[in-house]
């Protein structure tokens, strides 16, 4: 991996949104193998998240869900860690501060009084709602889950377009609650369909359905999944922006395929739970398996090669030229998660 250096932060600082995908992989390995060494190594990461909260490093973000679900909720659920539970609850409280009550959305980035960022949310945020559902489950306080559900409803209504594609981000007027406009940050244009955003939508709406049983969330996940599957090239690994088409020479985002594979398994589970549309469940499950087979056959690095992500050929942020055509931690995490789901159907979910 290219090591990302942040000005003023020494290498190894727990900052930005991706650090938890490593303890997340360790928890998956611990569950699949039962090996205590993975569990001990995963648990050791909790202290760094407590320290991040204590030192207030990069907390002004919706990404607290990715960060604290994989590291600390996992530690609480799988090892009864009291420190993990406390850190995850503190993170959920930070996320709640970002809920703008009039608009009913969780602001994605930055200070709440920043006029450029106020009232803007992002499709990825759906993946951060499970931290709030967990906080309600563990405390009995309904406020966390209520905020998550109101937020997800607004994302469903504004970020998903009529044709099942998605905006990457969307602005609301935080004072009046009026929805304003869609805009991209990492896609090729405001009206295109950034592939990883679509992947977050498929998985995120299915997760909100898991926690709420709201059929409109399942429907939103299905509409996004159907559109995604229609827009794929033959090998089922999307171009970094779906609107660019299916020319096999386009840069791919393998991480979008990995997230989608796990999301399609979640969607299939949900349809099987509700007992209707078993034909659709089988179709989504088959698509997930085909996507994983294609990743394994064409995009997985040869074991032992250096540097060693599991998957190559992802795109983080093409407009800024960051992380283009390289492996990354979240692609590896969701690839492992999807494979672990197939291997161990009773896997305890971090979400």
Active site residue: 63, 235, 253, 269, which one? 63
CA 197 from chain centre, in angstroms, equals: 9
124 lines the binding site for ligand GLY (CB under 6 A): yes
17 lines the binding site for ligand GLY (CB under 6 A): yes
Q: Which is nearer to ligand GLY, 71 or 186 (CB)?
A: 186
Q: Is 63 labeled as catalytic in the residue annotation?
A: yes
Applying CB under 6 A, the site for ligand GLY has a residue count of 5
Smallest distance, Å, CB 320 to ligand GLY? 11
3-state DSSP call for residue 216? helix
Give the span between the Cα atoms of 266 and 268, in whole angstroms: 5
Smallest distance, Å, CB 66 to ligand GLY? 8
Q: Which of 320, 256, 265 is nearest to 288 (CA)?
A: 265
Q: Which is nearer to ligand GLY, 201 or 232 (CB)?
A: 201
Active site residue: 58, 114, 124, 214, which one? 124
Give the span between the Cα atoms of 57 and 109, in whole angstroms: 14
Q: Which is nearer to ligand GLY, 62 or 341 (CB)?
A: 62
Give, as ranges, the residues between 299 and 318 that touch ligand GLY (CB under 6 A): 316
8 A C-beta contact, residue 81 and residue 46: yes
196 lines the binding site for ligand GLY (CB under 6 A): yes
Q: Which of 37, 211, 181, 194 is nearest to 119 (CA)?
A: 181
Give, as ranges, the residues between 167 and 186 that touch ligand GLY (CB under 6 A): 186
Q: Which of 68, 15, 78, 18 is nearest to 46 (CA)?
A: 68
Smallest distance, Å, CB 40 to ligand GLY? 29
Size of the chain, expressed as the number of residues it contains: 351
8 A C-beta contact, residue 330 and residue 21: yes
- Residues tagged active-site: 63, 124
Residues that bind ligand GLY (CB under 6 A): 17, 124, 186, 196, 316
């Amino acid at each position: 991996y290219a090591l990302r250096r942040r000005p003023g932060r020494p290498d190894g600082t727990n900052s930005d949104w991706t650090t938890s995908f490593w303890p997340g992989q360790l928890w998956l390995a611990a569950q699949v193998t039962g090996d205590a060494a993975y569990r001990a190594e995963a648990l050791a990461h909790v202290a760094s998240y407590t320290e991040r909260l204590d030192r207030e490093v990069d907390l002004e973000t919706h990404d607290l869900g990715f960060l604290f679900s994989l590291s600390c909720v996992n530690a609480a659920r799988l090892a009864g860690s009291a420190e993990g539970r406390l850190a995850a609850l503190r993170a959920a409280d930070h996320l709640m501060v970002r809920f703008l009550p009039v608009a009913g959305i969780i602001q994605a980035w930055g200070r709440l009084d920043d006029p450029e960022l106020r009232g803007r949310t992002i499709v990825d945020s759906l993946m951060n709602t499970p931290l709030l559902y967990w906080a309600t489950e563990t405390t009995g306080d309904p406020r966390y889950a209520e905020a998550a559900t109101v937020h997800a409803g607004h994302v469903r209504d504004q970020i998903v377009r009529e044709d099942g594609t998605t905006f990457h981000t969307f602005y609301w007027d935080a004072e009046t609650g009026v929805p304003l406009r869609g805009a991209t940050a990492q896609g090729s244009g405001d009206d295109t369909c950034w592939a990883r955003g679509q992947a977050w939508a498929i998985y995120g709406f299915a997760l909100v359905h898991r926690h709420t049983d709201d059929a409109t969330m399942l429907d939103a996940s299905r509409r996004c999944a159907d559109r995604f599957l229609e827009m794929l090239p033959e090998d089922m690994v999307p171009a970094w922006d779906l609107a660019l088409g299916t020319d096999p020479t386009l840069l791919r985002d393998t991480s979008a395929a990995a997230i989608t594979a796990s999301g399609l398994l979640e969607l299939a589970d949900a349809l099987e739970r509700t007992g209707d549309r078993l034909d659709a469940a089988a179709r989504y499950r088959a698509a997930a398996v085909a996507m994983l087979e294609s990743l394994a056959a064409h995009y997985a690095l040869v074991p032992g090669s250096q540097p060693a992500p599991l998957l190559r050929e992802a795109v983080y942020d093409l407009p800024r030229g960051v992380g283009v055509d390289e492996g990354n931690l979240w692609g590896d995490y969701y690839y492992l998660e999807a494979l672990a789901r197939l291997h161990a159907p009773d896997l305890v979910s971090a979400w």
